[in-house]
């Protein structure tokens, strides 16, 4: 297993975007661990937490940008272990409240090893003290807000978070750069729901895309999402 951080250069942060939205990515194993994003605009919110294999290092990395105690909320895009495995350690280190959608929160509270894919990956998920956030709600971050969009398909309660001012979308595992789409064959996944979710995302003006795996897209991200939608045509559902 290769371990290492992306450098600031490879993070490819645009200065204009940096003022509103700062991105942190921790890579443990690029084929396995999920991206994490630190969103800063007056207050700070962390999106997803990785598998938890490198949580101490993650706190150190966050410390390069911010006092981790200034992160008051951690939003989980969906229940999978590679996004929530670090939630307990990071919420304790940051003294932050955990949030997940109303369809994902129960599986995290009960420590469901099956639908979180923890068992499949040979991990153990701790029971998490998670608050529910409703679909359509707005998460205030300073003067800005992230709108919670329900994008089921990868899992039943997957969410994407949209910031209107910069037209930025943090999409978990619903879509990826270069026309990728999330898997729908894990428990609670559904291809038809994924198709509808991706179609919905094509109807939103999105310039910047921050997916749960792989590279982020800075500028013209809607083209990547349209490619994701076209790729689903292979399944004759669109």
- 65 versus 121: smaller Cβ distance to Zn ion: 121
- 101 versus 166: smaller Cβ distance to Zn ion: 101
Work out whether 79 is an interface residue with Zn ion (CB under 5 A).
Answer: no
- 40 versus 125: smaller Cβ distance to Zn ion: 125
- 87 versus 93: smaller Cβ distance to Zn ion: 87
From the list 40-48, 61-69, 92-100, 169-177, the region that binds Zn ion by CB under 5 A is: 169-177
From the list 1-9, 77-85, 94-102, 140-148, the region that binds Zn ion by CB under 5 A is: 77-85
From the list 67-75, 128-136, 144-152, 167-175, the region that binds Zn ion by CB under 5 A is: 167-175
The single residue listed with the structure tokens 């991706």 is 198
Q: Which of residues 44-63 bind Zn ion (CB under 5 A)?
A: none
Structure tokens at 84: 């929530």
CB of 91 to Zn ion, least distance (A): 19
- Dist. CA 98–CA 79, nearest whole Å: 12
Is the CB of residue 157 less than 8 Å from the CB of residue 100?
Answer: yes
Detail the DSSP E strand segments found in the chain.
37-41, 43-47, 71-75, 97-101, 130-133, 138-141, 144-150, 159-163, 168-172, 175-176, 180-181, 208-211, 217-218
CB of 21 to Zn ion, least distance (A): 22
- Dist. CA 171–CA 35, nearest whole Å: 11
- 205 versus 214: smaller Cβ distance to Zn ion: 214
- Dist. CA 81–CA 84, nearest whole Å: 5
CB of 80 to Zn ion, least distance (A): 3
Ramachandran category for residue 222: left, alpha or beta (phi over 0 → left; psi -120 to 50 → alpha): alpha
The secondary structure of residue 23, as a DSSP letter, is -
Ramachandran category for residue 219: left, alpha or beta (phi over 0 → left; psi -120 to 50 → alpha): left
**Among 25, 73, 80, 222, which residue sits at the site for Zn ion (rule: CB under 5 A)?**
80
- 116 versus 166: smaller Cβ distance to Zn ion: 116
Q: Residue 47 — φ and ψ, nearest 5°?
A: -110, 115
**Among 103, 104, 144, 173, which residue sits at the site for Zn ion (rule: CB under 5 A)?**
173
Binders of Zn ion: how many residues, by CB under 5 A? Answer: 2
Residues that bind Zn ion (CB under 5 A): 80, 173
């Amino acid at each position: 297993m290769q371990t290492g951080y992306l450098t600031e250069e490879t993070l490819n942060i645009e200065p204009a975007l940096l003022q509103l939205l700062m991105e942190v990515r921790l890579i443990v194993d690029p084929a396995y661990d999920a991206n994490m994003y630190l969103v800063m605009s007056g207050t700070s919110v962390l999106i997803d937490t990785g598998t938890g294999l490198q949580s101490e290092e993650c706190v150190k990395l966050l410390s390069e940008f911010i006092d981790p105690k200034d992160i008051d909320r951690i939003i989980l895009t969906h229940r999978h272990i590679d996004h929530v495995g670090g939630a307990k350690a990071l919420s304790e280190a940051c003294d932050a409240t955990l949030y997940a959608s109303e369809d994902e929160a129960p599986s995290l509270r009960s420590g469901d090893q099956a639908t979180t894919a923890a068992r499949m990956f040979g991990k153990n998920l701790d029971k998490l003290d998670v608050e529910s956030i409703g679909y359509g709600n707005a998460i205030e971050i300073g003067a800005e807000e992230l709108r919670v969009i329900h994008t089921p398909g990868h899992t039943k309660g997957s969410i994407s978070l949209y910031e209107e001012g910069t037209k930025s979308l943090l999409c978990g595992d619903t879509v990826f750069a270069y026309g990728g789409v999330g898997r729908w064959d894990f428990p609670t996944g559904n291809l038809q729901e994924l198709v509808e979710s991706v179609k919905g995302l094509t109807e939103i003006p999105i310039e910047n895309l921050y997916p749960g795996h792989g590279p982020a897209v800075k500028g013209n991200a809607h083209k990547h999402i349209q490619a994701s939608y076209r790729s689903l045509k292979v399944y004759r559902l669109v």
